[in-house]
């Protein structure tokens, strides 16, 4: 798999519904470093399962995943109608089961939750990563 990051996100912004520029949404950005390169293939496989789940998630506006495979680091970004929608997704499987399984192979992860004006969407990959730099 080619290196991503500066060139192109692993999963570019995928918008599920039309953005209301006047709305305020809930965003979540994460930085997820893996401890070992041998964990990357499994992480990518799990990311595909979570992507399928996201496509069915209630309240999702859109999402993206970026990766720097050399550094074993992944960034996620998702935008939701409400915090309840985001929390419901996080508690449901396969996401919940995958996250529990990945914890032992993860380094110090970082998560940020914040309000985001619809007029700021879509964002560039660099803007999506900024909250968790």
Residue 115 sits in a domain of what CATH number? 3.30.70.100
Mean per-residue pLDDT over the chain, rounded:
93
Which of these, 68, 7, 5, 79, lies nearest to 33 by C-alpha position? 68
Cross-strand partners of 133: none
More confident residue, 3 or 92: 92
More confident residue, 3 or 17: 17
Q: 4 lies in a domain?
A: no
**pLDDT band for position 10 (cuts 50, 70, 90):** confident
Q: Is the previous residue joined to 94 through a cis bond, with omega within 30 degrees of 0?
A: yes
The pLDDT score that the predictor gives to residue 1 is 40
3-state secondary structure of 3: coil
Distance of CA 49 to the CA centre of its chain: 13
Q: Is the pLDDT of residue 4 over 70?
A: no
The pLDDT score that the predictor gives to residue 8 is 52
The pLDDT score that the predictor gives to residue 101 is 95
**pLDDT band for position 96 (cuts 50, 70, 90):** very high
Q: 1 lies in a domain?
A: no
92 lies in which domain range? 11-132
Q: 5 lies in a domain?
A: no
Residue identified by tokens 């550094």 is: 71
What pLDDT, in 10s, does the model give residues 33-87?
999 999 999 999 999 999 999 999 999 999 999 999 999 999 999 999 999 999 9
Domain count, the chain: 1
Q: Is the pLDDT of residue 20 over 70?
A: yes
List, as one string, the DSSP characters of 29-89.
EEEEEBS-GGGHHHHHHHHHHHHHHHHH-TTEEEEEEEEEGGGTEEEEEEEES-HHHHHHH
């Amino acid at each position: 798999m080619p290196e991503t990051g500066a060139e192109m996100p692993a999963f570019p912004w995928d918008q599920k519904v039309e953005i209301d520029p006047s709305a305020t949404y809930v965003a979540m950005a994460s930085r997820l470093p893996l401890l070992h390169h041998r964990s990357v293939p499994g992480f990518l496989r799990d990311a595909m399962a979570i992507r399928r789940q996201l496509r069915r998630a209630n309240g999702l506006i859109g999402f993206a995943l970026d990766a720097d495979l050399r550094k074993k680091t992944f960034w996620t970004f998702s935008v939701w109608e409400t915090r309840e929608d985001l929390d419901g997704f996080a508690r449901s499987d396969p996401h919940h089961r995958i996250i529990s399984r990945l914890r032992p192979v993860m380094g110090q992860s970082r998560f940020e939750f914040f309000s985001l004006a619809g007029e700021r969407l879509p964002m560039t990959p660099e803007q999506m990563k900024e909250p968790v730099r």
